[in-house]
Amino acid sequence: MQTISDCSVAAIQIAAKSLKDGHLVAFPTETVYGLGADATNEKAVSKIYSVKARPADHPLIVHISSWSQVEKWARDIPEYAKKLSDMYWPGPITLVLRRSHLAKDFVTGGQNTVGLRVPDQKIALMLAKEFEKIGGLGIAAPSANKFGAVSPTTAEAVVDEIGTALGKLDLILDDGQCKVGVESTIVDCTRNKPSILRPGAVTSEMIEETLNIKISQGAIDINIRVSGLLKSHYAPMAKVALDESAQPGDGLIALANIPTPVGVIRLASPINHEEYANVLFRALRLGDQKGLKKIVVLQPEGSGLALAIRDRLAKAASG
Ligand code: TXA
Ligand code: MG
């Protein structure tokens, strides 16, 4: 495994070639770091599952450079999906669509749908474009962490999570801290109305305004497998306790206006919800690095991004 910090065009071209050759490339996105493989190469994709120790029936998101790739991967695309992509791509939203013949079971976890996303990150977009230039069709990439663990938002965190599990010719592209910090919003676009399978930075309010309709939260079809929907997920080694008072020796994550009790180890003091999302996973990791047994998190209130933060925290706390 090699980490590339100078992400020049030449370096990205090498990374794209690595993908084409069946190797894994971890790369930054605006949400979290992804662990990428050629989405049409079964052997390469199977490496993702073994590196992450992830069950094989969990579908992967295919990362593409633009809408023009969507028709290759999906069929029966509703008009509202196009509207969402026009409005929010490149950006932190994944559209789940009916799959075409290209989206094989090894990417979709055997479901008849495929998750697609155009990431809003310079390196990720460049990688997708360079990959497509040499005949690639899409990059399958889950978050670059061990299954059930906290998603990495820096290249160092990727190394900590999966560095030793990667092969000699696999790559990690380093472009610093991810901008958003929590994973993309996942929208089921297989019905006459969209529904949100996982909340993220593109909020239900934003989607409702764009489409001028009311939408529902959560999978309508209980057979839809979203690993983020598993009860325990995003969990650090430390026990995560929500909205209780922190005792000496505990870690604390809370908005900046909340003071730190004596003897408590402050892990993050975000000033607003954007910053909260941005620092959350890093702060949970920091708690583990400090060897803390318990991290108390005072959750942000309200809708929008706060909902995505509470969603990840509820799962981290049941880990
Ligand atoms: O922000 C993100 O979405 C990041 C970056 C790397 O793009 N990726 C990410 O991937 O979070 P992952 O695999 O950790 O989570 C993706 C979620 C999983 O829970 C998976 O089950 C769900 O997306 N998913 C993927 N394809 C799906 C499909 N066809 N139907 C339902 N859920 C799907
Ligand atoms: Mg994940």
Pocket of ligand 1 (CB under 6 A): 29, 31-32, 34, 58-61, 94, 96, 108, 111, 113-115, 117, 119, 141-143, 183-184, 186, 197, 224-228
Nearest atom in ligand 1 to the alpha carbon of residue 33 is 6
Q: What is the pLDDT of residue 223?
A: 52
Q: What is the pLDDT of residue 238?
A: 97
Which residues is 37 bridged to in the sheet? 140
Residue with CA at minimum distance from ligand 1 atom 32: 226
Q: Is the pLDDT of residue 240 over 60?
A: yes
Q: Is the pLDDT of residue 55 over 90?
A: no
Please give the Cα distance from 53 to 41 (Å, whole number): 19
Q: Quick one: average pLDDT of 141-158? A: 97
Query: HSE of 217 in the Cβ direction (CA atoms, 13 Å)?
Result: 12
Q: What is the pLDDT of residue 231?
A: 57
Q: Among 94, 178, 305, say which to mutate for ligand 1: greatest number of ligand atoms within 8 Å of CB.
A: 94
Q: Which residue pairs from 53-59 have beta carbons closer than 8 angstroms and sit at least 24 positions apart in sequence?
A: 53/146, 53/147, 54/142, 54/147, 54/227, 55/147, 56/106, 56/109, 57/109, 57/110, 57/225, 58/109, 58/142, 58/225, 58/227, 59/107, 59/108, 59/109, 59/111, 59/113, 59/114, 59/115, 59/225
Fold category of 239-317 in CATH: Rossmann fold (3.40.50)
Token duo for residue 69? 């790739």
Q: Is the pLDDT of residue 222 over 50?
A: no
Q: Quick one: average pLDDT of 127-131? A: 98
Q: What CATH number is given for 2-217 in this structure? A: 3.90.870.10
Distance 152 CA to ligand 2 centre (A): 9
The angle at the Cα of 318, spanning 54 to 179, to the nearest 5 degrees, equals 65
Please give the Cα distance from 105 to 90 (Å, whole number): 26
Q: Quick one: average pLDDT of 158-163? A: 97
Q: Is the pLDDT of residue 225 over 80?
A: no
Residue with CA at minimum distance from ligand 1 atom 29: 114
State the pLDDT confidence band at 132, using cuts at 50, 70 and 90.
very high
Token duo for residue 169? 């010719």
Mean pLDDT across the chain: 94
Q: What is the pLDDT of residue 319?
A: 66
For the stretch 3-13, pLDDT in tens is 999 889 999 99
* 8 A C-beta contact, residue 115 and residue 70: no
Q: What is the pLDDT of residue 180?
A: 98
For the stretch 57-85, pLDDT in tens is 899 999 999 999 999 999 999 999 999 99
Token duo for residue 131? 């990959």
Q: Which residue's entry shows tokens 């108390």?
A: 296
Please give the Cα distance from 242 to 298 (Å, whole number): 6
Residue with CA at minimum distance from ligand 1 atom 13: 142
For the stretch 86-111, pLDDT in tens is 999 999 999 999 999 999 999 999 99
Q: Is the pLDDT of residue 216 over 80?
A: no
Backbone angles phi, psi at 163, to 5 degrees: -50, -50
Nearest atom in ligand 1 to the alpha carbon of residue 183 is 1
Token duo for residue 139? 């990059």
- Domain extent listing, the chain: 2-217, 239-317
Q: Quick one: average pLDDT of 162-185? A: 98
Q: Is the pLDDT of residue 14 over 50?
A: yes
DSSP run (H or E) holding 143: none
Residue with CA at minimum distance from ligand 1 atom 7: 34
